């Protein structure tokens, strides 16, 4: 299968070639022709499958006929809206729009919370055909009268399951109510829960369905190993693994923001350069951490699930689960950071006695047992009893299983994604 055979425009084929892509990934091969036909699409695909190009390429093609180099804002109405759960993902999606749309004169912009609204307003007023946005800030702009969706043709809900988990359902419904009903709608989700099916049946018209299961994508290429270890010895083991195996570019997951900060500081003390990335960090701080990590001047990036969601780091060699996630699907998202689009990766999980149940749940989801490798000198002490896991729900990156249903908080300084997740819960961070 070649990109040419998908019927893409020469301008897009050129951009794809410039990226060095040789063949479409399975999600691209399936989704692109359906979107080009004008069908609504319900696609099950996780990050790492090439899903972004799967919707961006055909979207650009559908909009290309009326692309204009005119400076007049009126010639650049909003024609496509891509909603994402987090600002990182929004930025990365827009980067893809720019990359693949390099040879087509369409304008794009990203809008998300936690940063000054004025530059976004200015960009919107200048005219933008492709808008990538997180739901909360989009509604802020709507309230300020900055948006006109009368000419909208395509809506993409990217990582829709995550948006629902984060409590964005009302925002999404409100946003969709502002859009023309004649639009084409594409919904991407890593899981097909009942909630997602409901959302699809409400807002998609006779959608084509495409499923790329984690089992036959990135996850399969990832070497996964569990290192059993005592709770209190995880940090020492992590430092040992990094130094003895000379690991570079290691993405480490913790459950809470507090845990991410603490681990990052401790690694620094151990002489292993590291930075933490989570929802309490300002946008410039997050960007800086990601850049330093990408260029190799920081060896370890410690992240919470939500902060790492959608991070686009090509061919990341190592992912470490310093703590297992509360929700098994998050494990798949995490290891999706490595072994991406054809390159092999490695996912190490440091698992203590408290996490045996979580590990069982993950193995059930993967439908296989993960190999266990006790590192010499770090064997767990069997006399240590299990303790309840601190999820850091109130202040951390832990994920709530319960549906978050709360009114959208007003625009403010805290990153919207994490506020939306744990609304109106008292802070209990000092525990
Ligand atoms: P995504 O699932 O959209 O986050 O994409 C995962 C990664 O795969 C990104 O780094 C893309 O640049 C890369 N990618 C997307 N499509 C292809 C392709 N056809 N061949 C090789 N790499 C790709």
Neighbours of 216 (CB within 10 A): 10
Residue 185 — very low, low, confident or very high, per pLDDT cuts 50/70/90?
very high
What is the pLDDT, as a whole number, of residue 340?
Answer: 53
Range from 11-25, 177-191, 209-223, 360-374 carrying the lowest mean pLDDT: 209-223
Q: Which two tokens stand for residue 281?
A: 């960090």
Question: What pLDDT digit, counting tens, does each position of 68-78 carry?
Answer: 888 899 899 99
* Substitution candidate for ligand 1 out of 25, 32, 189, 310 with most atoms within 8 A of CB: 25
What is the band of 392 on the pLDDT scale with cuts at 50, 70, 90? low
SS (H, E, C) 261-317: HHHHHHHHHCCCCEEEECCCCCHHHHHHHHHHHHHCCCCEEEECHHHHCCCCCCCEC
Is the Cβ–Cβ distance between 385 and 353 less than 8 Å?
A: yes
Query: Which of 6, 26, 53, 96 maximizes ligand 1 atoms within 8 Å of its Cβ, making it the mutation to test the pocket?
Result: 53
In the reported structure, the alpha carbon of residue 54 is separated from the centroid of ligand 1 by a whole-number distance in angstroms of 9
pLDDT computed for residue 341 by the predictor: 53
How does pLDDT run across 313-324, given as a tens digit for each residue? 656 789 999 999
> Residue holding tokens 């390429």?
57
Residue minimizing CA distance to atom 15 of ligand 1:
50
Residue nearest to atom 10 of ligand 1 (CA): 314
Which of 341, 342, 345 for a ligand 1 pocket mutation test, highest count of atoms within 8 Å of Cβ? 341
Q: Tell me, using a 6 A CB cutoff, whether residue 314 lines ligand 1.
A: yes
Report the atom number in ligand 1 closest to the C-alpha of 46: 2
For 225, the 3-state DSSP assignment is strand
Where helices occur in 9-132 by DSSP H, the ranges are 10-18, 26-36, 51-63, 87-100, 118-126
Q: What are φ and ψ of residue 12, in 5° steps?
A: -80, -40
Query: Is the pLDDT at 421 greater than 70, yes or no?
Result: no
The alpha carbon of 12 is separated from its chain's Cα centroid by a whole number of angstroms, namely 24
pLDDT in tens, 201-239: 999 999 999 988 654 344 567 889 999 999 999 999 999
CA within 13 Å, CB half, 370: 29
- Residue 400 pLDDT class (50, 70, 90 cuts): very low
The reported pLDDT for the residue numbered 191 is 83
Of 366 and 176, more confident: 176
Tens of pLDDT, residue by residue over 406-416, are: 333 333 333 33
Of 93, 90, 25, the closest CA to residue 59 belongs to 93
Please state, rounded to an integer, the average pLDDT across all residues of the chain.
85
pLDDT digits (tens, 9 = 90+) for 299-351: 999 998 877 765 656 567 899 999 999 888 788 878 877 765 555 689 999 99
DSSP state of 38: T
User: Helices marked H in 109-193 — which ranges?
Assistant: 118-126, 135-143, 160-165, 169-177
Q: How far is CA 422 from CA 113, 117, 199, 257, in A?
A: 16, 23, 21, 13
To the nearest whole percent, how much of the chain has pLDDT over 90? 63
Distances (CA, A) of 22 to 13, 15, 342: 10, 12, 11
Tokens representing 180? Answer: 């023309």
At residue 425 the predicted structure's pLDDT band, cuts being 50, 70 and 90, is very low
pTM more than 0.85: no
Q: 393 C-alpha vs ligand 1 centroid, how far in Å?
A: 32
Cβ distance 306 to 334 under 8 Å?
A: no
Q: Which of 102, 158, 340 to mutate to test the pocket of ligand 1 (most atoms within 8 A of CB)?
A: 340
Cβ of 217 closer than 6 Å to ligand 1, yes or no, is no
The dihedral over CA atoms of 175, 394, 328, 325, expressed in degrees to the nearest 10, equals 130
Of all protein residues, the one whose alpha carbon is nearest to atom 14 of ligand 1 is: 50
Angle at which helices 10-18 and 51-63 pack, to 10 degrees? 150
**Domains, the chain, ranges and CATH?**
3-211 (3.40.50.300), 222-394 (3.40.50.300)
CA distance linking residue 293 with residue 277, whole number of Å: 11
Q: What pLDDT score does 284 carry? A: 76
Distance 47 CA to ligand 1 centre (A): 9
User: Rounded to the nearest whole angstrom, what is the distance from the C-alpha of residue 58 to the centroid of ligand 1?
Assistant: 15
Q: What is the mean pLDDT of residues 170-186?
A: 97
* Inter-residue contact 302 to 308 (CB < 8 Å): no
Ligand 1 centroid to residue 78 C-alpha, Å: 26
**15 alpha carbon – ligand 1 mean position (Å):** 13
Please give the Cα distance from 285 to 275 (Å, whole number).
Answer: 10
Highest mean pLDDT among 20-29, 260-269, 387-396: 260-269
């Amino acid at each position: 299968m070649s990109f040419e055979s998908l019927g893409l425009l020469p301008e897009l084929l050129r951009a794809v070639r410039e990226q060095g892509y040789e063949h479409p990934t399975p999600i691209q091969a399936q989704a692109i022709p359906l979107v080009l036909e004008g069908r609504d699409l319900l696609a099950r695909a996780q990050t790492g499958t090439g899903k972004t190009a799967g919707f961006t390429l055909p979207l650009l093609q559908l909009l290309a006929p009326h692309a204009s180099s005119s400076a007049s804002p009126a010639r650049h109405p909003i024609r496509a809206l891509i909603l994402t759960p987090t600002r990182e993902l929004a930025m990365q999606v827009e980067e893809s729009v720019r990359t693949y749309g390099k040879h087509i004169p369409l304008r794009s912009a990203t809008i998300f919370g936690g940063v000054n609204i004025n530059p976004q307003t200015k960009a919107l007023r200048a005219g933008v055909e492709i808008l990538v946005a997180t739901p909360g800030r989009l509604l802020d702009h709507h309230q300020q009268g900055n948006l006109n969706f009368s000419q909208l043709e395509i809506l993409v809900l990217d990582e829709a399951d995550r948006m629902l988990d984060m409590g964005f359902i009302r925002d999404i419904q409100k946003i969709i109510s502002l859009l023309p009903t004649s639009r084409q709608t594409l919904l991407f989700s890593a899981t097909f829960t009942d909630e997602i099916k409901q959302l699809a049946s409400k807002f998609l018209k006779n959608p084509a369905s495409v499923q790329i299961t984690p089992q036959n994508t990135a996850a399969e290429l990832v070497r996964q190993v569990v290192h059993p270890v005592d709770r209190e010895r995880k940090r020492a083991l992590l430092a040992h693994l990094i130094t003895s195996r000379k690991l570079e570019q290691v993405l480490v997951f913790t459950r809470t923001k507090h845990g991410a900060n603490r681990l990052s500081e401790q690694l620094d003390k151990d002489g292993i350069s590291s930075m933490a990335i989570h929802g309490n960090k300002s946008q410039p701080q997050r960007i800086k951490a990601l850049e330093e990590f990408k260029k190799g001047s920081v060896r370890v990036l410690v992240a919470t699930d939500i902060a790492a969601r959608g991070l686009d780091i090509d061919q990341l060699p190592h992912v470490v689960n310093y703590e297992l996630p509360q929700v098994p699907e998050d494990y798949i998202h995490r290891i999706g950071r490595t072994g991406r689009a054809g390159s092999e990766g490695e996912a190490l999980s440091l698992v203590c006695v408290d996490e045996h149940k979580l590990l069982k749940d993950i193995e059930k989801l993967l439908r296989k047992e993960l190999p266990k490798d006790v590192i010499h000198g770090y064997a767990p002490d069997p006399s240590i009893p299990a303790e309840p896991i601190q999820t850091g729900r109130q202040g951390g990156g832990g994920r709530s299983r319960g549906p978050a249903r709360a009114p959208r908080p007003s625009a403010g300084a805290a990153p919207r994604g994490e506020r939306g997740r744990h609304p109106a819960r008292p802070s209990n961070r000092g525990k």
